């Protein structure tokens, strides 16, 4: 079957690998922390434009399971920045009707971050304007391993494990399929992000460094998605 281009086709679920904060800072002779701060400032306009373009679910990669390998002071800055951002922005996000959920292993996160996560999820649980997922201490491989472990501990028989069952053991089984992945800073790799969920996602990679990523460019990514033909293995 020929899949016709649908210019009105909108991505419902967009996932973003927010990369390039360090290089943005380096180019300005600033410490990497300044790049991370500048990266946080992009979030509010991004969430607004996502809502305006009709995106229903936005997933943001904030900290990977591999990011613990960074120098201790950078990890500390990122955790601190996360806490500050949660304090400053969660009430606003709640007012605009966003529902926040976090993806990743929580055990290694500082207790203060864990409670901020729980509070944000609780506060926004009933909202329905935009689903906002933050991948924090997230790894695609850890997610698959955690799913396998839970299936085994639930005593599932091999024949009970199919794609549907597997998907129901992921961190957020309710999340719709990812339509579009955006990666900034020009890197052509997935970096352990949502390995299961991106099976048929479209990609938009830009050389723009994350702190320079604008709502206009988000719109361009969405327009580029609208012109794609998603064959999903068909013709
Ligand atoms: C993305 O920017 C932020 C995180 C991974 C937390 P980077 O810190 O990876 O910036 P670059 O890639 O070094 O420029
Ligand atoms: C991916 O960026 C992780 C996040 C954006 C949180 P990285 O900078 O960690 O990925 P690599 O090192 O370029 O693969
Ligand atoms: Mg990077």
Backbone phi, psi, residue 96, to 5°:
-85, 5
4: in domain? no
Model confidence pTM above 0.85: yes
Structure tokens at 36: 């991370």
Q: Does any ligand 2 atom lie closer than 6 A to the CB of residue 6?
A: no
pLDDT at 228: 87
Domain count, the chain: 1
User: In order along the chain (235 residues), what is the average pLDDT of each group of 10 residues?
Assistant: 58 98 98 98 98 97 98 98 98 98 98 98 98 98 98 98 98 95 98 96 98 98 91 83
3: in domain? no
**Which atom of ligand 2 is least distant from the CA of 22?**
8
Q: Does any ligand 2 atom lie closer than 6 A to the CB of residue 62?
A: yes
pLDDT at 164: 97
pLDDT at 4: 47
208: in domain? yes
The beta strands (E) that lie in the chain are given as 13-17, 57-64, 98-103, 130-138, 180-183, 202-205
169: in domain? no
Structure tokens at 213: 């990523």
Provide the CATH number for the domain around residue 57. 3.40.1180.10
Residues 6+ apart with CB under 8 A from 224: 204
Residue nearest to atom 11 of ligand 2 (CA): 191
Residues known to be catalytic? 19, 67
CA nearest to 220, candidates 49, 103, 102: 49
pLDDT at 56: 97
Domain that holds residue 208: 13-139+177-226
148: in domain? no
210: in domain? yes
CA of 22 to the centre of ligand 3 (A): 7
CA of 149 to the centre of ligand 3 (A): 30
């Amino acid at each position: 079957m020929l899949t016709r281009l649908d210019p009105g086709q909108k991505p419902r679920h967009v996932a973003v690998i927010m990369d390039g904060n360090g290089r943005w800072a380096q180019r300005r002779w600033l410490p990497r922390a300044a790049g991370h701060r500048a990266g946080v400032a992009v979030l509010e306009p991004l969430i607004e434009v996502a809502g305006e373009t009709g995106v229903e679910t936005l997933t943001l990669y904030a900290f990977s399971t591999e990011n613990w390998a960074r120098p201790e002071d950078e990890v500390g800055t990122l955790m601190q920045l996360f806490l500050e951002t949660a304090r400053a922005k969660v009430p606003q996000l709640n007012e605009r009707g966003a529902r926040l959920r976090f993806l990743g292993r929580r055990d290694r996160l500082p207790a203060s971050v864990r409670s901020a996560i729980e509070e944000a999820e609780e506060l926004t649980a009933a909202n329905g304007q935009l689903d906002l997922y933050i991948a924090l201490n997230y790894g695609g491989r850890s997610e698959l391993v955690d799913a396998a472990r839970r299936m085994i501990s639930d005593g599932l028989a091999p024949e009970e494990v199919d794609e549907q069952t597997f998907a129901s053991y992921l961190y957020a089984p309710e999340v719709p399929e990812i339509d579009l992945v955006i990666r900034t800073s020009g890197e052509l790799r997935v970096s352990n992000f949502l390995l299961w969920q991106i099976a048929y996602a479209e990609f938009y990679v830009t050389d723009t460094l994350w702190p320079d990523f604008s709502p206009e460019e988000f719109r361009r990514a969405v327009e580029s998605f609208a012109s794609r033909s998603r064959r999903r293995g068909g013709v």
